[in-house]
């Protein structure tokens, strides 16, 4: 866990720095200077572009990371594996670009009644999708090289900083809203170019002839790519279908409300993303060696650490949600309850650890496909059923339902096939601690008074939470980090 601890902590710090910029953008600046419809439009454009790019990738990013240990030879330029993956992804973009254009009228008719502004700016999805696609391949390539810190900075900090500058260009009347969208799109171009510069700095940017057949047959790569493609789009589909459906069924204003709450809830899962990014190459290597005990250990440790850290962030955000919402215009009042539901769904997903990654990089890719099809069906059915009845709250409810179903099936599978599961006695301790503090927060006198009170309450809540985690020895990693910190402090006295 040494590599995972070090790089996941560094990546988490960078990601939270990006989250602060994101908070400044999407919680403070964007809702103030853009109308709810304009905010909703930017979120809808991104959601459609993300889905477009993931379809076009044909699973190439996951295939690159899954098999990179077999091609990892700098002298031989990794046998041109990066060139092959970009060729596949480029072909996918052309194919789906033509397909999306042919069905443009049908797509636009879906949004005509409630989100006609999307139809006017529909074509922006193409360049955004393209640069999301090429960036993701470069990002996964860097992860395969065990370089996560700088790529995470480019993805989480640089991109949002650029988008802050873009907003100020609009606020200062340097551009109109159409010009804002053009600059917003260019921000994705810039962050991809910076990633290429970083790879060139590492001397790992190879546009080399494709010679992968010298290591592995193309049929094996293609077979894996097909299954991982069909499987991996489910997670992206589930993360974006709510925004896409809301735009059509509830309008761009409700899409803006949901997107703000979704962004706040995303803060809960940042440690999970950082830890998973670093864990994936280790999982791939463990499968290569068929090291099931190592997978089991990693499964349990990521589960308890994600639950503890995610639970803490969820509690602190809930403690401070009222004053956060007060910064927003009145039309965003329902953000509080949407966050409560989405955040809970995210915490459920984190508590189950890396079950998805373990299955994704195993030989059971067909089962991974089956569970993702279930996820697509559940998320689509719940959003179609709940949004017309409950609006933005209905979209939020669909998240915990979908993730509970999805992760339960995967945990049962790993328990039956490999006798591994993520929960221990420490999990029960963590849940009791989380529930106790959550209940206490809601009964503390004066919490609904002075808006600064929740901020002042954050420090003692943090101290209490950390104290209990250490005294109960819930996490070996957190206790170990605390002990090393104490030793470091004492050594400097």
Q: State both tokens at 278.
A: 């670093």
Q: State both tokens at 305.
A: 């650490």
Among 144, 142, 129, 138, residue whose Cα is nearest residue 192: 138
Q: Is 450 exposed, middle or buried (0-12, 13-18, 19+ CB in 10 A)?
A: exposed
| Per-residue model confidence (pLDDT) at position 113 | 77
| Per-residue model confidence (pLDDT) at position 8 | 59
| Per-residue model confidence (pLDDT) at position 445 | 62
Q: State both tokens at 12.
A: 């988490």
Task: Please give the model's pTM, rounded to 2 decimal places.
Answer: 0.79
Which phi and psi angles does 284 have, rounded to 5°? -60, -40
| Per-residue model confidence (pLDDT) at position 451 | 63
Does residue 245 contact residue 383 with C-beta atoms inside 8 Å? yes
Where would I find the H helices in 250-364?
252-289, 292-326, 335-351, 355-360
| Per-residue model confidence (pLDDT) at position 245 | 86
Tell me the C-alpha distance between 332 and 232, whole Å: 32
Tell me the C-alpha distance between 235 and 55, whole Å: 12
Q: State both tokens at 382.
A: 């719940």
List of residues 6+ apart from 104 with CB closer than 8 A: 122
Cα 441 to Cα 111, 455, 457, distances in angstroms: 42, 12, 9
Angle of helix 335-351 versus helix 252-289 axis, rounded to 10: 10
Angle of helix 104-111 versus helix 218-249 axis, rounded to 10: 40
Cα 90 to Cα 87, 217, 293, distances in angstroms: 5, 21, 39
Tell me the C-alpha distance between 126 and 131, whole Å: 9
Does residue 205 contact residue 198 with C-beta atoms inside 8 Å? no
Cα 13 to Cα 9, 215, 231, 271, 305, distances in angstroms: 6, 38, 30, 9, 16
Q: What is the pLDDT along the chain (493 residues), one digit of tens a residue?
A: 455 556 656 766 777 777 778 778 877 888 889 988 999 899 899 999 999 999 998 888 888 888 877 877 777 777 678 888 898 899 999 999 999 888 888 888 888 877 788 888 989 999 999 999 999 999 998 888 878 788 888 988 899 999 999 999 999 999 999 999 999 999 999 999 999 999 989 888 877 777 777 777 777 787 777 777 776 777 788 778 888 888 888 888 888 899 889 888 888 887 777 777 778 778 888 888 888 999 999 999 989 999 999 999 999 999 888 888 887 888 888 899 999 999 999 999 899 888 888 887 788 877 877 888 888 888 889 998 999 888 899 999 998 998 899 899 999 999 999 999 999 899 999 999 999 998 887 776 654 556 667 777 888 889 999 999 999 989 888 888 888 888 877 776 5
| Per-residue model confidence (pLDDT) at position 449 | 55
Q: State both tokens at 337.
A: 């309850």
Angle of helix 252-289 versus helix 218-249 axis, rounded to 10: 160
Tell me the C-alpha distance between 156 and 14, whole Å: 7
Tell me the C-alpha distance between 426 and 221, whole Å: 40
Torsion of CA 224, 225, 231, 235, to 10 degrees: 130
| Per-residue model confidence (pLDDT) at position 433 | 93
| Per-residue model confidence (pLDDT) at position 304 | 92
Tell me the C-alpha distance between 155 and 303, whole Å: 25
Q: What share of the chain is helix, strand, coil (3-state, %, to 5)?
A: 85, 0, 15
Cα 92 to Cα 62, 65, 88, 231, distances in angstroms: 15, 18, 6, 16
Where would I find the H helices in 145-201?
149-153, 159-171, 177-201
Q: State both tokens at 51.
A: 């889905």
Among 388, 426, 86, residue whose Cα is nearest residue 397: 388
Cα 433 to Cα 18, 427, 468, 469, 472, distances in angstroms: 29, 10, 8, 8, 10
| Per-residue model confidence (pLDDT) at position 85 | 86
Cα 359 to Cα 128, 165, 308, 370, distances in angstroms: 30, 41, 23, 11
Residue with tokens 């008074």: 449
Q: State both tokens at 405.
A: 């179903």
């Amino acid at each position: 866990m040494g590599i995972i601890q070090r790089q996941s902590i560094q990546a988490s710090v960078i990601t939270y720095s990006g989250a602060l910029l994101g908070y400044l953008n999407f919680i403070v600046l964007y809702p103030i200077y853009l109308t709810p419809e304009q905010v909703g439009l930017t979120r809808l454009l991104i959601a459609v572009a993300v889905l477009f790019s993931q379809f076009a990738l044909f699973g190439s990013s996951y295939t690159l990371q899954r098999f990179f240990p077999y091609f990892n030879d700098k002298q031989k330029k990794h046998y041109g594996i990066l060139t092959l993956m970009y060729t596949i992804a480029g072909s996918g973009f052309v194919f789906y670009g033509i397909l999306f254009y042919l069905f443009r009228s049908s797509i636009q008719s879906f949004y005509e009644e409630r989100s006609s502004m999307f139809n006017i700016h529909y074509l922006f999805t193409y360049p955004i999708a393209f640069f999301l696609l090429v960036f993701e391949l470069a990002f996964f390539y860097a992860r395969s090289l065990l370089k996560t810190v700088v790529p995470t900075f480019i993805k989480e900090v640089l991109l949002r900083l650029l988008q802050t500058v873009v907003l100020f260009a609009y606020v200062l009347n340097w551009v109109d809203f159409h010009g804002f969208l053009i600059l917003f799109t260019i921000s994705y171009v810039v962050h991809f170019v910076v990633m290429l510069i970083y790879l060139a700095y590492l001397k790992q940017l190879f546009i080399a002839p494709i010679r992968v057949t010298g290591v592995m047959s193309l049929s094996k790569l293609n077979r894996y790519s097909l299954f991982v493609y069909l499987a991996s789009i489910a997670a992206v589909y589930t993360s974006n279908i709510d925004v896409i459906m809301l735009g059509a069924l509830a309008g761009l204003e409700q899409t803006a409300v949901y997107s703000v709450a979704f962004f706040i809830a995303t803060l809960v899962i940042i440690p999970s993303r950082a830890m998973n990014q670093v864990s994936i190459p280790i999982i791939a290597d463990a499968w290569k060696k068929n090291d099931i005990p190592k997978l089991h250990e990693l499964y349990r440790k990521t589960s308890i650490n994600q639950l503890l850290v995610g639970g803490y962030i969820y509690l602190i955000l809930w403690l401070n949600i009222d004053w956060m919402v007060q910064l927003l215009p009145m039309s965003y009042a329902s953000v509080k309850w949407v966050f409560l539901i989405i955040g809970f769904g995210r915490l459920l997903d984190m508590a189950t650890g890396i079950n998805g990654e373990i299955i994704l990089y195993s030989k059971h890719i067909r089962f991974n496909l089956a569970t993702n099809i279930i996820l697509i069906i559940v998320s689509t059915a719940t959003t179609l059923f709940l949004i017309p009845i409950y609006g933005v709250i209905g979209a939020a409810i669909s998240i915990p339902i979908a993730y509970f179903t999805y992760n339960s099936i995967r945990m049962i599978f790993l328990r039956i096939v490999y006798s591994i599961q993520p929960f221990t006695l420490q999990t029960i301790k963590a849940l009791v601690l989380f529930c106790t503090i959550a209940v206490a927060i809601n009964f503390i006198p004066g919490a609904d008074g002075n808006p600064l009170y929740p901020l002042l309450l954050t420090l003692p809540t943090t101290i209490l939470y950390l104290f209990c985690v250490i005294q109960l020895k819930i996490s070996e990693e957190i206790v170990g980090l605390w002990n090393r910190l104490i030793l470091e402090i004492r050594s400097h006295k």
